[in-house]
Structure 1
């Protein structure tokens, strides 16, 4: 149908109206007709945006059309598997099915040496004569087989081992450049190979968001892509900026005679191809293509690590055949690894548990010591100013051991001046205050970033030691909306947990038992768990011994901070920090809500002696007749140390009911004796200590 006829038949293609009638005023027939037109229009707008890069309507108008389509499908039960609305994601799945590919997805033989590509050319010409080569960028993403039957998306499968892979169809449906239906005069059956990737600018923006949410960034776009495409929840995939280039036909009911012809047909079908593909007549031009792509590499908005040189003629390909591992008609001419010198694409500001702002340079991925990195520490504002570092600068990156890499020096300025930290927190918009070379968010526990890390600390080894509630679990619970404050831990129930991926009834019960056992913690553990800056477990114990109750400590911190300075291990700086923590309105509100659920124990300043002096205990599981915290207080009162994690310095791990597997494994790894409750009581009794 000519474009003019299409426009006339479908009012939602050009200058579409968006002042829709209320859904409830439509009959079902009217709704079906509008849904059909909207689906056609949205598919066409997708093609123009993702394939042609030539949209004809604005983003807001597109959003209005898409929302209208979704509203009608929901209101009239008109959902369909290949509707464009499936891009918002479907229901989570339990696991991926393994699916055999319609044709092998083999690896590509490759090298970075010019001599090897010339040997490839000599072998090809020796076996099949003169050929043309199709030269393409070698995308650094995740390969995927996409199968269409009668023009409809049937399945999408990861490369896997080349013979079979994971069925990720529902995830692929959420990617804008994966059409649900093909256009034009397409084959009845078509299986194509594509590369899923995350555009570099989108990757940097996404990493920035992760850092500012207190999450670890992805190392590079490929890792981000691989981690996304295999998510079990399609709605997560829909939120991440993935795209696809299609570059080969695996099988089709109508095969072209040459690779170039196949690629030329792809856009007619609605399949997005790369605009850097070239056809050359000899290996010299192919080598020249590789060198030009190496020079253009940094300009591209997608990662490539070389070029692929393919025989164009399909008959010649068949004659050349394949080995068990790779096709003999293609060769990857690889780029040298980027080494230590790269460009700062952006700067993200990470907010730590204490509110400290740490600037992190987001880099164009670079090889540093054999590891691909995409971020580097900028430490603090003073160092940034000293090195004159800013976005767009070419820098040298160094890496010492396993720590985060750091920017050593600026090699070439691509900007003016140096990066300035924001005046307000990027997470909660609270004012930022400077303390010497450091900068801090003043939002306290009212800041989401500090909150997440505070929950992790509260539940960690230096806090209340809630086994089963580590960084990953806290992030999952926060993202699910179940934890908006530390106090929300005490409102969790089994249904909340078992509805989440990876949680079974037993793991939920274990965590809830840990949380229940923490409602009357030792005062020192509770003070440490609050994450007051400069107050670790040792200082918390000294404060607990001095004041005896949490109320007394809090009152002194708020109104008589000078009293704190008389406590061992507490000086003027620590006293001021404790005072600032308790007088913060945001912190006070959070502490008050926690105290609605938790009653810190009073400290009995009388000790029972040194019968256990020199011993270190770790506890796991629940004990009969006493809480784990009471048992810990007992051994400490008699001269022992009680810590939250097992190490080579641990003398005994005491295991009650439902003990944690992690601590038991650590005990076995460190040859630490594991005592059952009866054995523990016997040990105490031998020294005249009663646990009751």
Structure 2
């Protein structure tokens, strides 16, 4: 039986990887046929089944999620049919929260970043989260010139001709509108209109799965007249580039859109407390079924635009907004077993094997159990969850699709627990290689210590190393990595990253030739060796990401690369760093420099230092550096400001901004922020109470200014 024919819960990790690769390719091809060729070859139900299977496998094998996974795309890639539109300002997604406590944490984080005390007024807007298709409408001299989908956030599809058919979108704006303004919002379809459309579409043999898919499909018609026949509508709620300020608050700007002729949501309100936000959320949740269009939550945004500017953005989302998603649908079923999956970092993740049950229209057979504490009834803070109830094989459990995607077990039904049930004992040995499994102090995850001797980790680390956002070596897919890793002949064997770059040389010295192996050929081998040679020069951030260091993904790798510029400088600093031993210990200067990189905290810094102070890792890196050259990070996109390229240290009490805000501001202006003073420091901003750092700066002759002088220096660049 092929992997494609097996139930998800019967797949081995190797088969799951193969199946995810197949699904990614098949879904991408069907997307192309539907969006680009307008010639689908499978039904919506069959297409949905592909995506459901992909999501189920990813939930069961989270460590195998591919960089090209359909579940990771912000939106459909731009197609050649509609042409690309580069957004003047990125269309980012929102972070999600799922509970009242999550909302309290969000508001607290905003206050903390702004250094707002509890009694200082902080107003938010709250509005329904429309389940539609994001759209950006660009007006120049008050005329609609371009309409673009969100796409991947940076580049969308030009659907201007189709957007012009939507009656609720004005062709011209009134005279008080700016010369340039991008009005953003959501294209959607009411449920009653959707049902009527599907009745008509049924005659053609093709129907849409839901109103959102219907809206998206309608906008991607090659013939605008088809779009005109579809009952599409538009809510305006945000904006991109503007030639002049639109207002002082989120609420006022949206109301101004209404004055210009756009439809805005009448359920948008202002709230001055967490309690008010939650009250509005639960009120909308209660009337959700009566609202004539689909919504999947409530969006909260800081109302004042100057505060939004101060809060800024993370890599993919704004700090000043979040989406409070509605509770997922739930169901009860029986827990038949618990399996342990081993990820590429050695993390041992428990997975529940369930009696199949339908949750939100999807058949669920597996669910995450997070970690051993979660099974025992202990939360992340060490406090009891589920009133301390543990989870046992044979229990009747309550299953939820978290965020309507990833299944998880919320609780058990105590009265249905079998009399002979026993507490689950989490293994202290790796189920793959038998190595000892350890749990570090303060960690919730138990990890295999086998490293590269554990096939679960070694193969996955090599897959990660050659993945698209790492070394991106074409021709080294999952099957090829597994073949080379398991090869008995030393001339074909790849067990470490450096082995990839010695493969050609070993082949030339060996009687065993790769082109004679089934699945290869002279042309494919030549292309593979060429692809490997093309990666002998690699960007710093890609190289660092490829090493698979815990907590260092693409974003953190780029942050570290931008700060240290050269890989040797990073490795030297990490080798010299001393991790603090207690609360009173701040570590040495090397530690403080790493910990002071904007966006890099103690957890990431510790993982980096531990990696480069482990002899086994250094052997792997040194062997790799003998084969490849790591290029210095280019200083691209630097902001032109008085502090661009300078290393700045903030010390003492800051009165006009929090320390986090100061770091974010300096980084935005092109400066590097360090947590320690050294000869490389260019500027020290000292507030009241500055101590040893101020003294050290004075001794080194480094320029010192106060907070007021800082704002005078950078004022024109804010």
TM-score bin (small chain):
0.3 to 0.5
State which structure, 1 or 2, has the greater radius of gyration over its C-alpha atoms.
Answer: 1
Give the TM-score normalised by structure 2: 0.34
Give the TM-score normalised by structure 1: 0.36
